[in-house]
Amino acid sequence: MSEFTLVGAINAALRYAMAHDPRVVVFGEDVGPLGGVFRATDGLYQAFGAQRVINMPLAEALIAGVAVGLAAQGMRPVAEIQFMGFIYPAIDQLINHAARMRIRTRGRLSCPMVLRAPYGGGVHAPEHHSESMEAMFAHIPGLRVVVPSSPRRAYGLLLAAIEDPDPVVFLEPKRLYRAAKEVFEDDGAPLPLDRCEVVRSGTDVSLITWGAMMRETQQAADTLAAEGITAEVIDVATLKPLDAATIQGSLEKTGRAVIVHEAPLTAGFGAEIVATIAGGALYSLRAPVLRVTGFDTVMPLPRLETHYMPSVHRIVEAARTTVCSE
């Protein structure tokens, strides 16, 4: 058993996958001797050499394109984009090639690639470093979108993503990279994709979130518990495909839901969850579903970043509103 931060868990998962599968290669900007800007690939260059840990130029479309080509030829590439704000040139490759590979070739080829990217705010970074655009990737048919919320989840979900036969966008909440440590065994055990995790049981309201917002949501659940309101906390983890059954099952028990994400409100992934609830658990609802989100603006850095991010207070107020709405 070892103790890991989230970024340490990412590193351990990559190291394990590379040690046990020669098809796994890692590449991106500064991932080699430097170990990446967040040190997620620290030591991998020294352990596996320049042919498997490859520094790439500042060309995100190239990074994604190389990943597509390697994956189509049987490799298991793990490509890193330094920040989500730099990921947009790669979208052409994701939409037009990675996500279409299986359909385009009538199943003759697949695209088992992982595109990793740190994302989200809360670290007072400059412009183009704090985006939370996960809904955009979830809208692309053929892609999986995975967001870990803890070191243990990051380790197991990344290993599962590397094993998956189709492309995965793996978004790492950088605010959590070194926020906490967790003890678990570095045994290469993957966690199941496409499945929500109920991290806290409750009967009064379902708090549904993912990534870094898990911290504030669990703190809000603690505050609500002190008031006699028991909240069920759900970590979505895999946004696409969404585990509707777990969410609907929770709503059948609580009858109320608050969805939390730091992305802007309009067309955020929370809206998809609301639609899923309406389609499968409408008659279980005892109050309207509420969302606690970022605002429909670019992250107002640096001074207003804290105001932009969903807070424990905002989550608690939304939960109180829906619980007391009857």
Judge whether 114 and 170 are in contact, CB under 8 Å.
Answer: yes
Q: Exactly one of 20, 124, 128, 129 is catalytic; which is it?
A: 129
DSSP state of 285: -
Judge whether 197 and 237 are in contact, CB under 8 Å.
Answer: yes
Whether 129 sits among the annotated catalytic residues: the reply is yes
Give the SS3 label for residue 221. Answer: helix
Nearest to 208 by CA among 251, 168, 155: 251
CA–CA separation, 140 vs 240, rounded Å? 9
Query: What is the β-pairing status of strands 231-235 and 197-200?
Result: antiparallel
CB-based contacts of 12: which residues, under 8 Å, 6+ apart?
2, 4, 155, 186
CA–CA separation, 152 vs 219, rounded Å? 19
Residue whose pair of structure tokens reads 């620290």 in the numeric block: 42
- In the structure, how many helices (H) and strands (E) does the chain have? 12, 14
CA–CA separation, 120 vs 149, rounded Å? 12
Residue 52 phi/psi, 5-degree rounding, is -120, -15
CA–CA separation, 171 vs 284, rounded Å? 32
CA Rg, the chain, in Å?
19
The verdict on whether omega for the bond into residue 33 sits within 30 degrees of 0, i.e. cis, is: no
CA–CA separation, 90 vs 109, rounded Å? 20
Type and span of the H or E element at 157: helix 151-163
Catalytic residues: 129
